[in-house]
Amino acid sequence: MTLENTLMKALMDTLMGMGSVFMILILICIIISLFKFIPKESAAAAGSDEPKTAAAVINDEEDDGELIAVITAALKMAMAQEAPPDTGSGKTAEPVFIVKSVKRRR
């Protein structure tokens, strides 16, 4: 087998491999673009017969206080681990911070 034949075979293998990869990628793009035609499930079809009530919304807001407390405690522990060691004066510099609100992303 000559060098020319070897290079030609390598080029063909490369083109076939890259071509098949790009064909599959194009097929995946087409399938993803067709997702917009699939209807979304409504709350009634998902098993919930009634929408979220006002009590459930209030309950979510009450949970924020507990969530803020947990986040504050975690921050305090993390910052205490990073604090410099005691210099012998008996006082350690404790970080001061206040968590005012937590925004949920949906």
Residue 78 has what pLDDT? 80
HSE (CB half, 13 Å, CA atoms) of 57?
Answer: 4
**What is the pLDDT at residue 92?**
58
pLDDT digits (tens, 9 = 90+) for 7-59: 999 999 999 999 999 999 999 999 999 999 988 876 555 555 555 555 555 55
Question: What pLDDT is stored for residue 29 in this prediction?
Answer: 96
Spatial distance between the Cα atoms of 72 and 63, rounded to a whole number of angstroms: 14
In angstroms, rounded to a whole number, what is the distance separating the alpha carbons of residues 26 and 32? 10
DSSP 3-state of 77: helix
**Distances in Å between the alpha carbon of 84 and those of 14, 27, 81, 87?**
58, 57, 8, 8
Cβ neighbours of residue 102 closer than 8 Å, sequence gap 6 or more: 64, 67, 68, 71
User: Which one is predicted more confidently, 96 or 103?
Assistant: 103
Give the DSSP letter string of 19-50.
HHHHHHHHHHHHHHHGGGGSPPPPTTTTT-SS
Give the max Cα distance, the chain: 84
Residue pLDDT, tens place only, 61-102: 566 777 788 888 888 888 777 666 665 666 655 656 666 777
pLDDT at 101: 72
